[in-house]
């Protein structure tokens, strides 16, 4: 049976391959596989309002707990009403595109179908890597020194969503360090650092009523946080744990919600904190009193640590356009999406993430 070849630039191809690209990116993305969902219980919440409505901005609110004294007995409550208070954040979206060329006819020995498939694979690799990197950057509030990122070290955000450094209530340091300048090479990642983060999250509002409490994600009746650390930090963690590391692995394997995506590829679990590692965690080389200590920023996250929003192109999350340049000699494909992302932040303070800065360097 002969194969139907859809001409380059045909609308049917554009619809089919834009959908294919969206699926490919979603399957490959580290965050999509584990942490992104539409509910408020998600670590990264996908805001969907702009997928069906016009506009380039989504605003979202956090309702502040009531704090007024109650009224006792028959004392009048009228006139003592407490105003409902809200903190508001917003995420804006913009277009992101890139393009590939199949080369001229004399250097090209591929069918139209193969050109599309190869382009989808490479564009899928590019966009999943790009969006994962952006999420690490936004959640960390810093670009860092990571060498293999798509964006350069001077990146300061896109779509009007700036990078926002952690506030003082949402950052802690390894070892005995209490600041960037006081971090020594010995202040590394260890199980105690995770325990301190759990304590900090639980006591945040008790110590400062103006700070919104972090909220763990609820999985099968259990509350969990997740921590994503760098490869270097993970090595330090395992070394510091010694013989107890196997207990952390057993805890994750026995957890009630172990089949939930937040456990996928996890290292273990400490005090209901699911541990992960990733090469893209933001790294630095200017910590310590001499600004020469290598460091990394782990992300301790609860629900709504960040938000991501997509617009649509022709009703599809990804856009796919085909053209033939040089009078039909050179097929080229452009793809992209309309999106924005940021760390959730209310009242000028982070909401669902604590940055954990520790000394971290390669061990080989």
Q: How far apart are CA 106 and CA 98, in angstroms?
A: 24
The pLDDT of residue 1 is 41
pLDDT, mean of each 10-residue run, the chain (364 residues)? 62 85 92 94 89 75 72 79 78 90 63 79 93 97 97 95 96 98 98 98 88 90 96 98 95 93 96 98 98 99 94 74 79 90 93 98 92
Q: Rounded to whole angstroms, how far apart are CA atoms 274 and 253?
A: 11
pLDDT of residue 347: 87
Retrieve residue 196's tokens: 């301190």
Axis-axis angle for helices 231-241, 191-207 (nearest 10):
100
User: Token pair for residue 289?
Assistant: 């009193």
**Residue 51 pLDDT:** 66
- List residues bridging with 334 in a β-sheet: 99, 321
Predicted confidence at residue 113, as pLDDT, reads 60
Give the residue carrying structure tokens 């057993």.
250
Helix (H, G, I), strand (E, B) or coil at 106: helix
Task: State phi, psi for 14 to the nearest 5 degrees.
Answer: -60, -45
pLDDT, residue 78, reads: 80
Q: Nearest 5°: CA angle at 233, between 231 and 236?
A: 115
pTM for the model stands at 0.89
């Amino acid at each position: 049976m002969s194969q139907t070849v859809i001409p380059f630039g045909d609308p049917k191809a554009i619809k089919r391959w834009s959908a294919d690209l969206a699926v490919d990116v979603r399957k490959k993305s580290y965050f999509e596989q584990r942490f992104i969902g539409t509910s408020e219980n998600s670590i990264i919440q996908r805001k969907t309002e702009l997928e069906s409505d016009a506009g380039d901005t989504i605003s979202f609110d956090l309702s502040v707990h009531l704090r007024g004294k109650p009224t006792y007995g028959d004392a009048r409550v009228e006139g003592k009403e407490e105003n409902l208070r809200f903190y508001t954040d917003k995420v804006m979206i913009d277009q992101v595109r890139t393009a590939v060329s199949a080369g001229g006819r004399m250097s090209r020995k591929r069918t139209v179908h193969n050109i599309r498939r190869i382009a989808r694979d490479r564009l899928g690799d590019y966009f999943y890597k790009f969006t994962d990197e952006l999420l690490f950057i936004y959640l960390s509030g810093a670009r860092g020194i990571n060498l293999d990122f798509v964006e350069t070290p001077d990146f300061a955000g896109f779509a009007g969503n700036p990078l926002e450094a952690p506030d003082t209530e949402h950052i802690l340091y390894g070892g005995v360090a209490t600041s960037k300048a006081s971090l020594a090479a010995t202040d590394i990642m260890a199980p105690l650092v995770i325990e301190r983060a759990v304590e900090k999250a639980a006591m945040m509002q008790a110590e400062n009523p103006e700070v919104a409490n972090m909220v763990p994600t609820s999985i099968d009746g259990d509350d969990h946080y997740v921590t994503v650390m760098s490869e270097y930090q993970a090595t330090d963690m395992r070394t510091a744990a010694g013989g107890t590391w196997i207990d952390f692995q057993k805890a994750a394997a026995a957890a009630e919600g172990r089949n939930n995506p937040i456990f996928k590829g996890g290292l273990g679990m400490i005090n209901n904190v699911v541990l992960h590692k990733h090469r893209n965690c933001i790294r630095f080389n200017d910590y310590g009193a001499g600004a020469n200590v290598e460091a990394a920023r782990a992300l301790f996250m609860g629900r709504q640590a960040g938000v991501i929003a997509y617009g649509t192109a022709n009703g599809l999350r990804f856009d796919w356009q085909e053209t033939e340049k040089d009078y039909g000699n050179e097929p080229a494909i452009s793809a992209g999406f309309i999106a924005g992302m940021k760390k959730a932040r209310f009242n000028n303070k982070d909401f669902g993430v604590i940055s954990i800065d520790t000394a971290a360097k390669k061990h080989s």
